[in-house]
């Protein structure tokens, strides 16, 4: 099993608060999981790709530019199409982020879900999960209070030829006013990815607030397909 990776927070990783943004911390988590998979799976049949199905993330604090973070990830279970992976992010020996994620195995040849081959499972040192996180289910918004549209850009597309999963986070956070975000910080995030978004296209992000929780839904305008659901929880600064 590969060890944790270390990253230096750059000024370009920060948002209006002057701290590292949630999506950029998640970017380092994804980078760590990809690095681990490339190293451990190099002798497998190379027949599948991993696609994110779900995030459950708890943000305890956000690092400043110049600080070094350490990202550790490990699989906790495999079941049929699904791989379960945990993350722990530390900064100056303090845990600042913990996350649980679910990934699905997709055939490179057909683009469809496939049962995870045993040879892929065997290269990993599966460890029990070290923590529990609050999780949120998936439910359609009853009455969205606001919405915002985004046109899919070419730069949003990744090597799998669909919108990168982290762009969804950007869309979700853009649906919450700057005034609210200036007085609150994101503490918990759940994202459930249902279907890929491709270029070109336009998505509409709906938002509904209930006290310190927001419920988000991403719908592709052209097809009227529901692409993702999310919940964000905030705390006053």
Model confidence pLDDT, tens digit, residues 32-55: 999 999 999 999 999 999 999 999
Q: What is the pLDDT of residues 213-225, one digit of tens each?
A: 999 999 999 999 9
Alpha helices in the chain (DSSP H): 22-40, 118-122, 165-174, 178-183
Q: What is the pLDDT of residues 147-190, one digit of tens each?
A: 999 999 999 999 888 999 999 999 999 999 999 999 999 999 99
Q: First vs last Cα of the chain: how many Å apart? A: 38
Average pLDDT, the chain: 94
Exposed / middle / buried, residue 76 (Cβ in 10 Å: 0-12, 13-18, 19+): middle
Residue 136 has a pLDDT of 80
Domains annotated on the chain, with CATH: 5-122 (3.10.129.10), 146-236 (3.10.129.10)
Residue 137 has a pLDDT of 76
140 confidence band (pLDDT: 50, 70, 90):
low
State both tokens at 22.
């949630």
Q: Is the pTM of this model over 0.85?
A: yes
State both tokens at 102.
């679910």
Strand 94-107 vs strand 5-8: parallel, antiparallel, or unpaired? unpaired
Check whether 144 has a pLDDT greater than 80: no
In the chain, the DSSP E strands lie at: 5-8, 48-59, 68-79, 82-91, 94-107, 146-151, 184-193, 202-210, 213-220, 225-236
Mean of pLDDT values over 101-116: 95
Contact 26, 59 (CB under 8 A): no
Check whether 130 has a pLDDT greater than 70: yes
């Amino acid at each position: 099993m590969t060890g944790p990776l270390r990253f230096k927070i750059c000024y370009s990783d920060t948002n209006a608060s002057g701290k590292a943004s949630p999506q950029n911390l998640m970017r380092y988590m994804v980078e760590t999981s990809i690095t681990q998979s490339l190293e451990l799976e190099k002798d497998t049949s190379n027949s599948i790709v991993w696609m994110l199905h779900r995030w459950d993330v708890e943000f305890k604090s956000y690092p400043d530019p110049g600080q070094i973070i350490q990202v550790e990830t490990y699989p906790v279970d495999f079941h049929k199409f699904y791989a379960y992976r945990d993350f722990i992010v530390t900064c100056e020996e303090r845990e600042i982020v913990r996350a649980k994620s679910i990934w699905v195995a997709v055939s490179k040849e057909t683009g469809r879900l496939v049962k995870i081959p045993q040879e892929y499972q065997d290269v990993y040192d599966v460890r029990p999960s070290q923590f529990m996180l609050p999780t949120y289910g998936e439910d359609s918004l009853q009455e969205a209070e606001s919405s915002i549209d985004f046109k899919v850009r070419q730069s949003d597309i990744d090597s799998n030829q669909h919108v990168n999963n982290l762009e969804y986070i950007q869309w979700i956070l853009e649906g919450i006013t700057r005034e609210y975000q200036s007085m609150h910080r994101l503490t918990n995030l759940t994202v459930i990815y249902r279907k890929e978004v491709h270029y070109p296209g336009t998505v509409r992000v709906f938002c509904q607030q209930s006290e310190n929780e927001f419920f988000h839904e991403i719908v592709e305008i052209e097809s009227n397909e529901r692409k993702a659901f999310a919940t964000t929880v905030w705390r006053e600064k």
